[in-house]
């Protein structure tokens, strides 16, 4: 059973598997966002942030839940398609969670729970229901089997620019052991050529590494939060430096993220120095700003760790870590504690670490697991 999104990647994955002789069934997950609603959301957000018409259109395509496109693709490939309504679960686990985190001034990338819990979770359950042994997606990632333990090993895609392995750190062995990833060994350019050969229309995918999720960019998410919560939860407050000097005001902490550049402050422009969001004072609804060098940190505490393969929990682990999706890998020491907690010490200081971010651990090309930054 192959998850069909309406984009070229999942379509090519299905076509490749069919060409290899597999019996392929497509599954489209309807998340409950209509093209009209999505386009309106993106258009308004784009107007607020000054985004051009071309970019509006691209993001509207990203947001669209287009079952008709999925049906046309499956008809072209010659495979049956089932449509599953996942709108309630998507709203509960992704949209509501994102809004809750934003109101608490926590960062959250909705792509991680969306891919691991919604897309792969539903695909596996539906495959069980219909009697399919294997499941497949169009993710750019690779899987290998450990020669000694027989456990699945999640690895980066051959095309480093297209790699999406960091989105799958929340999966367990039960899902990974039956997952097929036909595109992991291909470049994005080759996938486009194959789409053309199969006669599949190419739709530009939503790229998680761009910072634009299935819910839109920062401006669209702000609009979503404000339309989903009462004004009493979005309290105005004062903006002040880390030394306590009041330098302005704000319309709600949910409009900001750690590391964001802030303008219009009552501060001296010493050498055109810029100021950035350093953090939040939730008790006073204060926005804390300061120079960029104060955004750097050497360590974090993270919760809810998921190890794809077992690790030695009695000693620190030497590996690399990446804050999803923006920052590159950096060498670190990870010390596991009880209750799924880990302490991460980076060799080099990292910028704009914030509670709610996903942190992914890797060893060379293998994804070891991940967790959620707490402090």
Residue 294 falls in which region: left (phi positive, over 0), alpha (psi -120 to 50) or beta: alpha
Catalytic hit among 62, 214, 319, 332: 214
- Domains of the chain in start order, with CATH, are 2-223 (3.40.50.620), 236-290 (2.30.30.280), 295-373 (2.40.30.10)
Amino acid 326: pLDDT:
66
Active-site residue, 332 included? no
Q: What is the pTM of this model?
A: 0.86
Question: Is the pLDDT confidence value at 55 over 70?
Answer: no
Amino acid 59: pLDDT:
39
Spatial CB neighbours of 289, under 8 Å, sequence gap ≥ 6: 239, 240, 241, 242, 247, 262, 265, 275, 276, 277, 278
Give the whole-angstrom CA distance, residue 235 versus residue 270. Answer: 31
Alpha-helical (H) ranges within the chain are 8-19, 35-49, 53-63, 67-77, 87-90, 96-103, 111-113, 121-130, 173-176, 188-198, 218-228
Q: Which candidate, 204, 212, 277, places its Cα nearest to that of 240? A: 277
Per-residue pLDDT tens for 123-166?
Answer: 999 999 999 999 999 999 999 999 999 999 999 999 999 999 99
Active-site residue, 114 included? yes
Catalytic hit among 62, 111, 114, 332: 114
Per-residue pLDDT tens for 269-296?
Answer: 555 678 999 999 999 999 999 999 999 9
Per-residue pLDDT tens for 170-223?
Answer: 999 999 999 999 999 999 999 999 999 999 876 665 555 555 566 777 888 899
Instruction: Count Cα atoms within 13 angstroms, Cβ side, for 22.
Output: 21
Give the pair of three-digit tokens for residue 341.
Answer: 């907690």
Instruction: Count Cα atoms within 13 angstroms, Cβ side, for 317.
Output: 21
Question: Is the pLDDT confidence value at 343 over 60?
Answer: yes
Give the whole-angstrom CA distance, residue 81 versus residue 60. Answer: 24
Eight-state DSSP code of residue 204: P
């Amino acid at each position: 059973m192959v998850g069909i999104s309406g984009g070229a990647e999942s379509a090519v994955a299905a076509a490749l598997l069919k060409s290899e002789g597999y019996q392929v069934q497509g599954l489209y997950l309807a998340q409950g966002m209509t093209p009209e609603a999505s386009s309106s959301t993106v258009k308004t957000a784009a107007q607020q942030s000054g985004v051009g018409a071309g970019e509006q259109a691209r993001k509207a395509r990203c947001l669209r839940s287009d079952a008709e496109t999925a049906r046309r693709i499956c008809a072209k490939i010659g495979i049956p398609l089932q449509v599953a309504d996942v709108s309630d679960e998507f709203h509960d686990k992704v949209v509501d969670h994102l809004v809750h985190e934003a109101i608490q001034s926590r960062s959250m990338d909705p792509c991680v729970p969306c891919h691991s819990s919604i897309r792969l979770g539903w695909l596996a359950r539906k495959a069980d229901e219909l009697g399919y042994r294997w499941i497949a997606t169009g993710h750019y990632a690779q899987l290998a089997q450990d020669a000694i333990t027989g456990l699945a090993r999640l690895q980066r895609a051959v095309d480093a620019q297209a790699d999406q392995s960091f989105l799958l750190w929340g999966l367990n062995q039960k899902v990974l052991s039956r997952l097929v990833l036909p595109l992991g060994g291909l470049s994005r350019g080759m996938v486009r050529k194959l789409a053309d050969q199969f006669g599949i229309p190419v739709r530009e995918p939503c790229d998680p590494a761009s910072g634009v999720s299935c819910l839109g960019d920062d401006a669209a998410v702000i609009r979503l939060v404000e339309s989903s919560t009462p004004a009493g939860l979005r309290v105005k407050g004062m903006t002040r430096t880390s030394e306590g000097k009041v330098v302005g005001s704000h319309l709600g902490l949910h409009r900001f993220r750690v590391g964001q550049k802030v303008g219009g402050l009552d501060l001296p422009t010493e050498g055109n120095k810029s100021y950035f969001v350093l953090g939040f004072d939730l008790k006073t609804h204060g926005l804390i700003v300061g120079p960029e060098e104060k955004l750097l940190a050497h360590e974090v505490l993270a919760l809810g760790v998921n190890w794809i393969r077992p690790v030695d929990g009695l000693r620190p682990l030497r590996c690399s870590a990446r804050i999803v999706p923006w920052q590159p890998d950096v060498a670190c020491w990870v010390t596991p504690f009880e209750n799924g907690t880990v302490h991460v010490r980076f060799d080099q200081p990292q910028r704009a670490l914030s509670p709610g971010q996903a942190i992914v651990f890797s060893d060379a090309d293998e994804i070891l697991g991940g967790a959620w930054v707490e402090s």
